[in-house]
Amino acid sequence: MDHWGARFQSRRPLLISSVSRLLAIIAVLAPWPALAGPTGSSYLSELVARARSERLAATREWHLLLHYHENVFGGYTSEQDGPTFFLAPNGKTNPDAELEATLAGFFFDDLIGEAKQPVQCAFIGRYRWLKEKLAFDDRRLPPQSCEKFDRWIEALAPHSITMIFPSAFMNNPASMFGHTLLRVDRQGQTPQMRILAYTINFMAEVPDDEGLMFAVRGIAGGYKGGFSVIPYYLKVREYRDIENRDIWEYRLNLTDAQVRRLLMHVWEMGNASFDYFFFRENCSYQLLPLLEVADPSWRLTDQFTWWTLPGDTVRLATRQPGIVGAAVYRPARTTQIRRRYERLSSDERGLLRKILQEPALAREPSFQQRPVERKALLLDIASDYLRYQSITDEKQAEIYKARDREVLVARSELKVKSDDTPVEPFVTRPELGHRTTRIGMGAGYRQDEWFEEVNLRASYHDLLDPEPGYAPGYQIELLSGALRHYEKQNRTRLERFTLANVLSLTPADALFLSPSWKVNVGMQTLLHSGCRYCTAGVANGGAGLTFETHLLKREYFFGFGELETTYSHAFEEKHRAGGGGTLGMMADLTDRWRLLASAGYLRFALGEKSDEVRWSVGQRYTLAKDAALRFEFNHRERRDNEALFTIHAYF
């Protein structure tokens, strides 16, 4: 989802002469006076007639190649938005006209598009498909050589395709849901050479200095997106080394013919451009048509109506029988540091911290006398950590780099290879996770009356949802609401609505002192002075720290300082604003059973002056991958107590 980058290529429109010439052809569909001689024109008429009788423009293959989707009220529209992709002036909405204009284009040797190539080459996927369907006679429609395409394929040396999923990156809002891209694995590629393969990325072209408009335009489709093909080592560097994201690689089982079809279509994408919609037609979505072109029997894009989350596309691909082969895990640099750190004794941990400050210690006898494998492990962790520091703390980068150099020189003198035991992830594989839309039915007791409720959440994951596939301590809820019926008052009301509720608990330890933070914006139902159930708009945000223990299985203890502002008619002054703090604990009692408890105090000094003690206890029990039970108790506003029991299903 996160591929927002400036692209450097300018996209020149089709050569004007080609456009006008093609327009001329379409205007005079018969009898083709302008064509390459009488043979060409009569053969074109013949091909068009056959394509019409075989209804090729109505086939799924044609729709996929042109990215047509059926409109709600009939007809078709292509998702492609650029000026150089259609050969017919009404190609965006008319598959028939586009097919006929494409056939006409194959007779021309004008060079079109940015790469200045004949139509047969610029739209090589269409050409090969139509050639096969209509069995082109090479003498009457001479094939043109596509040197640029051939060289491109030669440089890619394709063998197979791998879907790459860099996991979510909480500290960049554009990357909060993860990302997906494809990698074109090379012939004869060994595991060590995977980084040399090229990747296929869909990304938006974002001008600099966009500021806040970025969010608005990103969501509303205000940017252009296009495909780029860049080496995997740059992506590994970006995700693993700089952003510290775990990467999963899923080998796709495609035949040679499918790989070739996919790549021919990628080549065609060089003349395509798409409006980028952050939530649906995004980086992850745009890979799906490529896979559908590879095998038209797969139904992938249909599955996403409102939004496309990278994790969902991975789950969708893994659900298609036989598509996904082996999965490979590539740990983030921080994951590697933390896993290797776990292998150290407490004495070694102390020594590591000293070496990080003063690498010269690696020369001292107290270090030198240790077994060589332990020395290598210590120095490997030290180097990784100093690199991590040089990236996160730019001001001190030179100091960390100098220390790293010293560590590495000492490391080279050990003359042994590093232990290459695989590093285990802290998170289970993303495709094992629950789906992201959630519906719930519940019942409970508030104040002095019973209620029933239904709730629905558009996406994505909260702390009490089943954890497999999601990072622990990670929550993003977008567009979630609950409708509740109160028995005694016989009243049904919108109980709460969440615009966004984002929370990141990152355990701080001796090596990583990352802050935890939270932001919650939405509507809640208050009980305040005279007002029994009052609507309130609330915004809350805070920052704090989390610590992890393993007393039972795994426990997180967290503390936040926070600010909150509320707007409600329940208050005489209609609003209140203030701050306070929260302490809490999240504990896994078993693999399925989690407890989340917190207590907080807030003082509102502005508007309606008041203070409030809140506490809550929630428990979740996982029934299945996509089903869970939840019991919550909340205390607010001094006398507002509520107990709620819910069953959740994910779809």
Partner 1 sequence: MMKRLLMLSLATAFIWGQAGIVLALNPGSSAYGNGPGCGLGAQIFDQKNILHQILASTTNQIVFFNQAFGITTGTLGCTNNNKFVQNEQATLFANLNFDNLSQEMAQGGGEHLASLATLMGVPAEQQPAFFAMTQEKYATLIESGETTPAAMLKALHEAMDQHPVLAKVSMTR
Site for partner 1 in 476-505 (CB under 8 A): 499-500
Among 142, 541, 559, 579, binds partner 1 (CB under 8 A): 541
> CB count, 10 Å around CB of 36?
15
Among 203, 287, 332, 536, binds partner 1 (CB under 8 A): 203
Site for partner 1 in 145-164 (CB under 8 A): 147-148, 151-152, 155-156
Question: How many alpha carbons fall within 13 Å on the CB side of residue 373?
Answer: 6
Q: How far is the CB of 432 from partner 1 (least distance, A)?
A: 26
Which tokens in the block code for residue 440? Answer: 């719930």
621 binds partner 1 (CB under 8 A): no
Which tokens in the block code for residue 330? Answer: 């590539």
Q: Is 5 exposed, middle or buried (0-12, 13-18, 19+ CB in 10 A)?
A: middle
- How many angstroms separate the CA atoms of 75 and 89, rounded? 16
**Cβ atoms of residues 60 and 108 within 8 Å:** no
State the binding string over 518-537 for partner 1 (x if CB under 8 A, else -): -x-x----------------
Closer to partner 1 by Cβ: residue 56 or 266: 266
Q: How far is the CB of 66 from partner 1 (least distance, A)?
A: 15
Q: How far is the CB of 423 from partner 1 (least distance, A)?
A: 13
Q: How far is the CB of 240 from partner 1 (least distance, A)?
A: 10
Which tokens in the block code for residue 368? Answer: 């030198």
Closer to partner 1 by Cβ: residue 136 or 223: 223
Among 40, 218, 311, 444, binds partner 1 (CB under 8 A): 218
- How many angstroms separate the CA atoms of 557 and 515, rounded? 13
Stretch that binds partner 1, among 46-54, 313-321, 389-397, 488-496 (CB under 8 A): 389-397
Beta strands across the sheet bearing 181-186: 274-276, 223-231, 198-205, 181-186, 158-166, 247-252, 324-330
Q: How far is the CB of 26 from partner 1 (least distance, A)?
A: 23
- How many angstroms separate the CA atoms of 31 and 217, rounded? 46
Q: Count of H helices and E strands in the chain?
A: 17, 21
Q: How far is the CB of 267 from partner 1 (least distance, A)?
A: 5
CA geometry: angle 528, 532, 534, nearest 5 deg: 75
Closer to partner 1 by Cβ: residue 197 or 527: 197
5 binds partner 1 (CB under 8 A): yes
Closer to partner 1 by Cβ: residue 62 or 278: 278
> CB count, 10 Å around CB of 178?
26
Among 24, 234, 360, 606, binds partner 1 (CB under 8 A): 234
Closer to partner 1 by Cβ: residue 539 or 629: 539
- How many angstroms separate the CA atoms of 178 and 173, rounded? 10
Q: How far is the CB of 219 from partner 1 (least distance, A)?
A: 7
> CB count, 10 Å around CB of 162?
23
Closer to partner 1 by Cβ: residue 233 or 450: 233
Closer to partner 1 by Cβ: residue 391 or 534: 391
**Cβ atoms of residues 127 and 118 within 8 Å:** no
Site for partner 1 in 254-313 (CB under 8 A): 266-271, 278
Q: How far is the CB of 394 from partner 1 (least distance, A)?
A: 7
In 3D space, the residue among 540, 525, 305 whose CA is nearest the CA of residue 437 turns out to be 305
- How many angstroms separate the CA atoms of 520 and 562, rounded? 11
402 binds partner 1 (CB under 8 A): no
- How many angstroms separate the CA atoms of 83 and 104, rounded? 18
How many residues of this chain bind partner 1 (CB under 8 A)? Answer: 90
Closer to partner 1 by Cβ: residue 328 or 647: 328
Q: In the block, which residue shows the tokens 């590591």?
A: 352
Give 593-629 as a DSSP string.
EEEEEEEEEEEEEEES-EEEEEEEEEEEEEEETTEEE
- How many angstroms separate the CA atoms of 566 and 571, rounded? 9
Among 206, 254, 314, 482, binds partner 1 (CB under 8 A): 206
Among 53, 346, 412, 490, binds partner 1 (CB under 8 A): 412
396 binds partner 1 (CB under 8 A): no
Q: How far is the CB of 399 from partner 1 (least distance, A)?
A: 14
Which tokens in the block code for residue 453? Answer: 């409720």
230 binds partner 1 (CB under 8 A): yes
Whether a cis peptide bond, with omega within 30° of 0, leads into 166 is no
Site for partner 1 in 418-477 (CB under 8 A): 418, 420
Site for partner 1 in 324-383 (CB under 8 A): 376, 380, 383
